[in-house]
Amino acid sequence: MDNQNNLYNLVKTQLLLSDLKELELQLSDTSKVSFPHLYLLLKNAFLTITHVYDFKANIRLLFRDNPELSELYKKDKKAYKFFKYLRNKLVGHLESPLLEQSIIWEPLHRIMAKNHNVDVIKRGIVYKTFILETLVNTYLIESQEYVKIFGSSEVNFICFENDKLTLIQHTKDTISSVIKTLEKQELILQTLVPTLNDVSDLESYYRIAAKTDFKKL
């Protein structure tokens, strides 16, 4: 990889590392976090963990001289696959099949949708809980590994608090593990990017920057 690619990969690694460390901090004591906030944190975690795994394709050449980095990625392979599934189905846009299956799974949708006395935010909390547990259940169908993690082939976050706590803890554990991967990746990339000792070293880069012609991405 050339210096420009190494710099790009280093900056992206640092951005992902920053996001995960912030999520780790925010999720450190979920007893003090409201469910709407927790739901957003979990969605961000699903998204960021998946970004790290997708980013692996960019830095694969590092594995040749740094097999320990490859091993760190392999260690969390099953977790990456799980969170990528959650990200793909939940984050960005809510897929119709998921919502349809959630309504079938939990008939209370039919009462909640027509109850005008329920607070909009509280109703949303219930819906999001149903949708998230439905999504996890669709994954458990084909993953004995995660049946073992949750201790059941079916989760219910409202009736069984431990099911929800298991998802939260697994997310936190994965974040901590991925942080270690990115910290190692950052150290490797730091050795491949030239060090500039003074602002004057940036003069040629500023001349290039002055000619920037912004275009819609």
Residues 145-173 have pLDDT tens digits of 999 999 999 999 988 999 999 999 999 99
In a domain, 206, yes or no: yes
In a domain, 139, yes or no: yes
In a domain, 215, yes or no: no
Please determine, for residue 199, whether its predicted confidence score (pLDDT) is greater than 80: no
Model confidence at 115, pLDDT cuts 50, 70, 90, reads confident
The answer to whether the beta carbons of residues 188 and 62 sit under 8 Å apart is: yes
Q: Write the CA distances from 91 to 3, 48, 85, 177, integer angstroms.
A: 33, 11, 10, 22
Distance separating alpha carbons of residues 154 and 166, to the nearest angstrom: 13
For residue 196, report the phi and psi dihedrals to the nearest 5 degrees: -100, 125
- What is the tally of structural domains in the chain? 1
In a domain, 120, yes or no: yes
In a domain, 217, yes or no: no
In a domain, 39, yes or no: yes
In a domain, 121, yes or no: yes
Model confidence at 1, pLDDT cuts 50, 70, 90, reads low
Residues 22-43: pLDDT tens digits?
999 999 998 888 888 999 999 9
Please determine, for residue 93, whether its predicted confidence score (pLDDT) is greater than 90: no
Q: What is the pTM of this model?
A: 0.91
Structural domain containing residue 100: 3-210
Please determine, for residue 102, whether its predicted confidence score (pLDDT) is greater than 70: yes
The answer to whether the beta carbons of residues 62 and 185 sit under 8 Å apart is: yes
pLDDT of residue 44: 96
Please determine, for residue 210, whether its predicted confidence score (pLDDT) is greater than 90: no
In a domain, 18, yes or no: yes
